[in-house]
Amino acid sequence: MNLDLPLIWAGIIAVAVLLYVLLDGFDLGVGILFPFARNRADRDVMIDTIAPVWDGNETWLVLGGGGLFAAFPRAYAALLPALYLPVILMLLALVLRGVAFEFRARGRTRGRPFWTAMFAGGSLVATFAQGLVLGGFIQGIALKDGVFAGGPFDWLTPYSLLVALGLVCGYALLGATWLVWRTETELHGDARRWAWATATGVAALLAAVSLATLFVHGRIAERWGFGAGGFDLASFAPLAPIPLLGLAGLAGVGLGLRRGSHGWPFVGALMVFVSGYAGLAAGFTPQIVPYAMDFRQAANQDNALGLMLAGVAVILPMILGYTAWVYWLFRGKVTPDAGYH
């Protein structure tokens, strides 16, 4: 049996990163929205909705990093030095935010407000840094002989700042719609307002990022049919479902909110993210270090990929199974008191 191992692994890593963005996206979003909560009780409920699952969500980030190391080591070795500062910034912010879950509950008069601020600030900075990483990634990485050969601030451009702003707004939308789903009473009402505001922001920023990407990056524009010779429908048509999915997602958020649905806005927000993710992927596939290294050049030895695939085939379904079970276990509305057992 001849499996195309690099291709399979590119798919696995892509799915792992997507799952990370969707899952940690909503719990980072809850942190971003923290400063807008009315009071401490609301903040406690907000953090309670994500406390049992955030650690599992963040593990997908470890799989993204560890998986890239194991499956595409040359890409891992090229990307991380290139994006050194935003990656370190993200890690430091995630450290402060991660410990805040427990520290905030233990803190007293001074500790509690401090860790509340760290949770909110850490979530915001980690998201912004991820946006800078993403922006720097799409812009392209300067390599020489497969090794990073650019400057320390190559990633810092108006384009990457715009992407980072978009990601902050996007995670906030995921967080807001998550809270619409998982909370009730006054907080639920606030979450609806946050969802409206962030959905509007996401629609605008998604359009801005899409346009900027087409204008700034010729080769991505060509993929989408906006070549030098005008618009080419044949290139665009196969990719058309991607923006349509995004529009459907936004409609889902808007209609869901308007009709008082609790679950649909979150589903819509997830669709928007899947669409944005697929849209970007369509722009640079098969590059794994845009635009200097494709996933085949970056891939690990076949025997290593094969061994890991055997492991993944057994273990990943189990992980997905118990992750789903944990979400199912902690389903339902979260309230300030012990109401719903």
Site for another protein in 28-67 (CB under 8 A): 40-41, 44-45, 47-53, 55-56, 58-59, 61-63, 65-67
Select from 92, 245, 267, 281 the one that contacts another protein (CB under 8 A): 92
Q: Is 71 in the site for another protein (CB under 8 A)?
A: yes
Count of positions on this chain that bind another protein (CB under 8 A): 81
Using CB atoms within 10 A of its CB, is residue 330 exposed (0-12), middle (13-18) or buried (19+)?
middle
How many angstroms separate the CA atoms of 211 and 194, rounded?
25
Question: What's the half-sphere exposure (Cβ side, CA atoms, 13 Å) at 303?
Answer: 0
Scan for tokens 């891992």, then name that residue. 76
Q: Which of 1, 2, 108, 234 binds another protein (CB under 8 A)?
A: 108
Does residue 322 interact with another protein by CB under 8 A?
yes
Q: Are 168 and 32 in contact (CB under 8 A)?
A: yes
261/297 with CB nearer another protein: 297
Q: How far is the CB of 22 from another protein (least distance, A)?
A: 16
Among 38, 189, 296, 301, binds another protein (CB under 8 A): 301
The vertex-272 CA angle with 179 and 95, nearest 5°, equals 55
Q: How far is the CB of 201 from another protein (least distance, A)?
A: 27
By the rule CB under 8 A, 315 interacts with another protein: yes
- The tokens describing 218, both together, are 């010729």
DSSP, res 307: H
335 contributes a contact to another protein by CB under 8 A = yes
Candidate residues 3, 88, 207, 237; the one interacting with another protein per rule CB under 8 A? 88
Under rule CB under 8 A, residue 22 binds another protein: no
Q: Which of 102, 189, 232, 258 is close enough to bind another protein by CB under 8 A?
A: 102
Binding marks (x or -) toward another protein, 242..281, rule CB under 8 A? ----------------------------------------
Residue selected from 158, 218, 311, 317 as contacting another protein according to rule CB under 8 A:
311
Sequence-separated (6 or more) residues with CB below 8 Å from residue 135: 155, 157, 159, 160, 161, 162, 163, 164
User: Measuring CA to CA, which residue among 242, 237, 78, 46 is closest to residue 149?
Assistant: 78
